[in-house]
Amino acid sequence: MFSDDRNIESVRRLIADIRDYLSLRIECGKYDLVGKLAVLVSVLALGVLLLAAAIVILFFLSYAVALAVADSVGGLSVACALIAAFYVLVAIVLYALRRRIIVQPITNLLGHLFLDDIKKEEDQP
């Protein structure tokens, strides 16, 4: 049955087509990964830039509040200490809620970024 030259050539073409298909799937996967990593890096870069801007703004606002309440609390050093205590309290709350505020959003972002396409491919017939 397989001794016929036409059958052997058909098997060779089938194997070549399978190789081409697999190489195209791998290349498509690479492009998909690069696109998703580009989105991830851009989100991280934007987050870092916004965080840096927020830190500078928060610093100046804290200093303005310290100057505003300095006369009523007994001086600038006491006002700065009160603001520092407020930030320590905020840090404790953030640490206590770190899963809900930090871990879950990052997990959701990565899950949607990398796993949503897999679900869409599985749902299609």
125 residues of the chain, pLDDT tens digit each? 445 778 888 889 999 999 999 999 999 999 999 999 998 999 999 999 999 999 999 999 999 999 999 999 989 999 999 999 999 999 999 999 999 998 999 899 888 888 876 666 666 65
Predicted TM-score (pTM) of this structure: 0.67
- Residues 6 or more apart whose CB falls under 8 angstroms from that of 43 comprise 109
